[in-house]
Every structure is written in C-alpha cells, then in structure tokens.
Chain A
C-alpha cells in the first residue's frame, strides 16, 4: 500500500499498456466509450461553450486567459482532446500527448485543484448534461464507468508530469544550493576553510572532495580546516567521506584538520567505533585556526587580549 502511494516512483505509466493496466481499462471499456462518443461528440461545441461558462466563474480565469486569442486557441485544443478520448484508442501517442498536456499546465503553474475540478466537471457534462438518453441502461452504465477510468488515467498521467517537473525544479534548486554549500575559502595565506552545514550525502561528499582539491591546487594552501560544527549527523558513511577528504588533501601536500567536533558528535563517533586515524580534530574552529596560524608562522592573537 505504501509503495502504491508514490505514483512517480512505485507505479509505472510510461507505456499505454502500463497506464491501461493500472486503471483496469479494457477493450470493452473503450468500446463503451466509443458508443457514448457517438452521442456526445456531435455536441462538442456545446460542451466547450458550457465548460468555459464554468471556467469563467473561477477567480483565476483572468490570469490564465489574458486575451481572446488565447481562449480560442485553448478551446480548440480542448475540443481535440475530448474527441480523441471518445475515439476509444489508448496507444503510445495518446499517453505521450497526455504528458504534454500535463507539462503545459505545470509550466503555466495551473493549480492541480483546478485541473481535478475541470476533469470532474467535463465528465459530468458528458455523462449527464449533454447525454441524450439514447443508450440502453447497461451500455450507459458501462460508458460512464469507462469515462471515469479514462478521466482518472489522464489525470494521473498529468499529475505524474507535474511531479516530474517539480522534482526537476527541486533538483536544479538543490544543485544550486549544493554549489553554494561548499564555499572553500582562503582565510589566510596558505590556509583554507570549509564550514560544512546540514546533511552530507554521497553527492555532496563528492562535491566537497572536488571543490577542496581544486582550491588546494589553485591556492597552494598547506592547511585545510574542515569545520563540521554545522553538520547534523556524522554516521559511519559521513565519517568515511570526511576521512577520505583528509587523505586526499594530504596527498596534495595539505594537512587537514576537522574542527567543530561537538561533545554529542564526539560521543556518537566513538560509540560507532569510528577511527579517524592520524587526522587532527578540534572541538572548535578557533583552536584549529590558531594551530594553523602557528604552523604558518603567524602569532595568533588570543581572544580577550
């Protein structure tokens, strides 16, 4: 159950078969849909008009439809969309076009609530308002069920696209944050400082490694201070990343100090059995800096002097 709740990860709707199977959409559903289509497709213009009467009542309408040309363009797309639904053919190009529709809506930032509501209203219009009563009861029931399945499937395809686009946006954003989050800075002649904040994953560990080594090569620094006072969790994997960075800097002739080891971090690291080897560690950045300045032959001013 838990797995199914995450549609973008757990259930695949990449192909027409997968999408149909997820919504139990069968050939007889599609046939029923076609029969309803024969009744309602001729009234498609009336559908579009009524749909827009409703749409105009929404406060957001003005935002998304700034001019008449836009309205006409979207109306014709809307018409084509539903004509295709009632053709009763769900193939790959159908699925791809739904993804495109989702993408368009996501890019303009249409709230999903409006999208759901619109799909629901369209289903009501086709199955109640515009339906002429000329199907037998069984065919009508089958058609309504089929229409609901298709509308839900289309909505799911669109939501998937929404999710993908917002994930992409989030990924781009976190990449930007990531780049800002490895500010290796030369704080003194020959001394580099990298204050780490937040959680460290494997991607970030790699960024830290690359940024640190590049900066050492650029600045010819002799001492590298890695301050972890802002790091949330140091588990064995994170410790391993940090130790690797210190080993790498040493190969470039630059000694690393890990500073900012709080009592809580010191305790968890020891209990986890982490051995930092010969890496120098200090409780706070001030101690590390003072040691670094001494090593560089600078008399470090004491706090309070």
Chain B
C-alpha cells in the first residue's frame, strides 16, 4: 500500500519536554501530519501543552522509557488503521520537512523501515563529539554485521516504520536504552524486513541534554553488541512467517 500523509502517524515520545514540544508540534501541524504525543510519565505540562497545541496525547501513567512509549504509540497506530509511523523526537532535532523524504523513500524502495541517517547527509547542522561518534561507529558496524545491511547510523531515532513490521513492533519492542534504535534495527534486519537509510539533516536539540553520558553509552554499547552476538534481541515474527500467515 502507498504511504501518504493521511495514513502515516507521526509519533512523538516525550518525557518532560514542555519547553520544546509545542514548537515541534506547530512545525508538524504546518505540514499537515497526524500527530500522536506519547507522554512517557511526564511530571511537567508536556501532556497539557501538547493537547492545547492540537495533538492527540497518549499519557502513560508511569515512565516506561522511549521503547515503552513507542510501543504504546505503535499499538495506537495499528488500532486506528495507520499504514506507517514516523518517530520524531520532542526536542526539535528532527525537521518536519524531512518526513516527506522518509515517506518518498519508503514508497520508492518498498522498505519496511527507513532510517534518517546523520552520517550520509551533507547539510546536517548537528555536531557529534569524538567519543560519542566512536560509540556510534561501533554500533553501526555491529548492526551492519548483524543484519548484513550497510548501516551508518544505528542510533538515529528518526525513522519510518510501515506494516507489517509496525504490527510486529506493536507486539514486541524493547524498552531498554538503544532498544528502540539499534536493537530494533537488528531485530528487523534478522527478521528479513527491508531496511533503508537516507540522508537526514538533523538539528541540534532545542532543549535538554542527551539522555546518556559517555560512560553509560559505552556500557549500553557493549550490552547492545552482546545482545546482537548472542541473538537475544527482542523477538518478532519474520517477514516470511508474516507473509505466510496472511496467505
């Protein structure tokens, strides 16, 4: 099925992002996207401000982590009959105009997951520190090895996911750090789903800090690589099985 603006839900997981979420929502509204904000146990006015900005808000009573918020969003998308979702951060890093590029790429290639990569873009305004870049390189290398697909940005949270992969992720999706990005890539790739990367010019975050320190990043990287090597990533039905069950 062709992906359009109308059958795509933009999911914005947000934890205490009252200072930036309204700008992000206003920008998304300018482009006419259907938007769902998943307030991940926020204790500030994220949910109220998002509602006031015209977004549908799914309010998790406790904090589940990005992966948990995303799975709740995926479930909402599947139950409302959306064909695809686009993950967008609430901190303003992902420009709304780039979403069209993800949709166009998915329609042209038929990919089940299209990832906006920060490292094949020429016009990105985002700078990444040396140590963080090294961690990202290691993860990209590991994801490429695990999936047999060339991945340049395994930790990009700017991505489009379409059915039937979306349906699988609505049932099983990791909550841990890197689970929503790196591990999701590994699970999808090993499940035989088609993954594509396109350049995406991401911006520096408007508010707040990165959710993990360098030490944490290294720890999570080692954990992520271990998960891939030991094949203990979250399980999903393979594309072959899903296709068979539909026939």
A and B form one complex: no
